[in-house]
């Protein structure tokens, strides 16, 4: 639920905590629809003692780059703990985007100093819990806490919005660094998404190892 100003609040999170959760992990992802670079998952831990989220926290897509960067240290101080995980373009090609999201999410969760007993996930699809079919063939599947999904949680739940800010800023920094190695694609501007300039560069230059080559990319004029 949003506050009167339209900003996300902790009302839903507090309901989950009051219902029995002691440590809530709020999760959001960025980069799912990009043509290049990793998919990135942010997680923020909160508990019943966690205070109101820092002023200005909202879904990362609604913030300027400068506002996102300014919020990062405040979110880190405010949360009980936080982490960001990635899955590379090669891993996306190998296992598919949903399994790559799960891989990135589990990496983020594994790097936390404490394990949440409930996870709040943005959206309607639980991509974080390993499918039963995988568990049958994997004797030690990645453990994950029970997951609650909520549509538009990044817009209504402050902790999920905070996770999106951490994920977005870290992925943006990675794409800016990668742009120095591959300047033709202008990732410092488009962050790997399908802008006209990025698409034209693929057509002219072809792809590189940071592109998701299993995806439907523009045909290239470069001879293999």
Predicted model pTM: 0.91
Q: Is residue 47 part of a domain?
A: yes
Residue whose C-alpha is closest to residue 41's, from 82, 77, 7: 82
Question: How many domains in the chain?
Answer: 1
Q: Is residue 121 part of a domain?
A: yes
CATH of the domain at 33: 3.30.420.10
Q: Write out the residue range of the structural domain in which residue 99 sits.
A: 11-171
Q: Is residue 162 part of a domain?
A: yes
Burial class of residue 146 in the structure, from the number of CB atoms within 10 Å of its CB (0-12 exposed, 13-18 middle, 19+ buried): exposed
How many angstroms separate the Cα of 122 from the Cα of each of 77, 152, 157, 194? Answer: 22, 6, 9, 23
Q: In tens digits, what is the pLDDT along the chain, a chain of 224 residues?
A: 554 457 899 999 999 999 999 999 999 999 999 999 999 999 999 999 999 999 999 999 999 999 999 999 999 999 999 999 999 999 999 999 999 999 999 999 999 999 999 999 999 999 999 887 655 555 445 557 999 999 999 999 999 999 999 999 999 999 999 999 999 999 999 999 999 999 999 999 999 999 999 998 988 765 44
Q: Is residue 65 part of a domain?
A: yes
Q: Is residue 179 part of a domain?
A: no
Query: What ranges in 122-207 are assigned the alpha helix state H?
Result: 132-137, 153-156, 158-181, 187-190, 196-205
Q: Is residue 222 part of a domain?
A: no
Q: Is residue 163 part of a domain?
A: yes
Residue whose C-alpha is closest to residue 115's, from 128, 124, 123, 106: 106
Q: Is residue 221 part of a domain?
A: no
Beta strands in 38-166 (DSSP E): 39-46, 81-87, 118-122, 147-150
């Amino acid at each position: 639920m949003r506050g009167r100003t339209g900003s996300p609040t902790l009302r839903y999170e507090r309901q989950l905590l009051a219902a029995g959760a002691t440590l809530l992990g709020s999760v959001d992802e960025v980069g799912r629809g990009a043509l290049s670079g990793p998919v990135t998952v942010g997680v923020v831990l909160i508990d019943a003692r966690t205070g109101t989220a820092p002023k200005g926290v909202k879904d990362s897509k609604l913030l300027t780059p400068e506002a996102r960067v300014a919020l990062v240290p405040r979110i880190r101080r405010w949360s009980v703990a936080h982490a960001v995980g990635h899955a590379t373009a090669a891993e996306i090609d190998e296992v598919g985007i949903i399994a790559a999201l799960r891989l990135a999410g589990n990496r983020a969760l594994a790097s936390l100093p404490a394990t949440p007993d409930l996870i709040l996930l943005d959206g309607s699809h639980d991509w974080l819990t390993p499918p039963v079919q995988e568990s049958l063939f994997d004797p030690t599947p990645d453990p994950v806490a029970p997951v609650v999904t909520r549509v538009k949680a990044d817009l209504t739940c402050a902790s999920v919005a905070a996770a999106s800010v951490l994920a977005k800023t870290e992925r943006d920094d990675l794409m800016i660094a990668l742009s120095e190695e591959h300047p033709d694609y202008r990732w410092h501007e488009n962050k790997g998404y399908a802008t006209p300039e990025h698409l034209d560069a693929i057509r002219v230059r072809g792809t590189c190892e940071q592109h998701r080559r299993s995806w439907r990319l523009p045909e290239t004029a470069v001879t293999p």
